[in-house]
Amino acid sequence: MSEYYYELTIKPMKNYELFLELLTSLTNQAIEEDNGTLIARSEEDLSNVEFGITQFAQALDTECETKCEKKENIDWIKQYQESVKSVEIGNFFIRPSWEEKKEEKIDIIIDPALSFGSGHHETTSSCVQAIDTYVNEGSTVLDVGTGSGILAIAAAKKSCKVDICDTDEVCITDTISNFKLNNVSFDGSWIGSANSASKKYDVVIANIVADVLTMIASDLKKCLNENGILIISGILDKHIDRVKNKFKDLEQLELIHKNEWVSVVYKNKES
């Protein structure tokens, strides 16, 4: 372990989710969210990441406070791991590998590096809740923007035939590792989005951000079988009407609201 590490704090005045998405793409290290402030830590100098964030803020014409500090290393990775607890969502029990499983629950192991994709963030837990309710054994499933792979793993644990895709090759690699950790497998994968799908699915899941969901709405719907289920998430409540407008030709089954985040479950209407 290095003697020192770097801590980068970012506090955007608006467009918070865009800064979170950018920071996630710029570093594979742990990211902490604290009341509108993003905190990244790494043993590598984060000055270049800070520069990229400030340039992004200027391009968006958004005020953003940043600070990059060099600190004495007190094994923050271990502290972070100790702070990560298991979470129970419906019939699923999501846990880090150092915790014991619950025999009566569907077991998912995720050793998280990020708050997203570990089951604790509202968007992830809402999607797992929807999978528990609406995804049936043997369904064909596409997870768009798979991230850590937790949603695809949840579907695979229900004996579904799962395909995954993500625009970030690192996410595909991480998902493969997480599938192996959980002793399940997926069927197909590709680097890209829903527009590269070659078939239709019983269930399509997209836990991304509102802006991307509106851009790829048509592609997501084209991936659905008749009466297929679409689960979308990553939507701040202030954007929900704009997103819902893009999917108004589908039947809304449920809207899940957790804090400021919204997930929606749709059913494809019979043609």
CATH code of 180's domain: 3.40.50.150
In a domain, 88, yes or no: no
**Do 242 and 178 belong together in one domain?**
yes
Mean pLDDT, to the nearest integer, of 158-165? 96
Query: Quick one: what percent of the chain has pLDDT higher than 90?
Result: 70
Number of domains composing the chain: 2
Give me the pLDDT at residue 117, please.
56
Q: What is the pLDDT of residues 95-141, one digit of tens each?
A: 988 889 998 999 999 876 544 455 678 899 999 999 999 999 999 99
Lowest model confidence (mean pLDDT) among 39-48, 192-201, 219-228: 39-48
Give the domain range for residue 29: 4-79
Average pLDDT, the chain: 90
Q: Are residues 29 and 140 in the same domain?
A: no
Share of the chain above pLDDT 70, in %: 92
254 part of a folded domain: yes
Of 190 and 98, the one with more pLDDT: 190
27 C-beta neighbours (distance < 10 Å), count: 18
Structure confidence at residue 148 (pLDDT): 85
For residue 64, what pLDDT band results from cuts at 50, 70 and 90? Answer: very high
The C-alpha atoms of residue 19 and residue 17 are separated, in whole angstroms, by: 5
Q: Are residues 232 and 144 located together in one domain of the fold?
A: yes
pLDDT at 255 over 80: yes
> 249 and 129, same structural domain?
yes
User: What is this structure's pTM?
Assistant: 0.71
Q: Do 195 and 258 belong together in one domain?
A: yes
Mean pLDDT over 197-203 rounds to: 96
The predicted pLDDT at position 114 comes to 47
Query: How do beta strands 188-191 and 251-258 pair?
Result: unpaired
Confidence at residue 77, expressed as pLDDT on a 0 to 100 scale: 62
CATH number at residue 23: 3.30.70.270
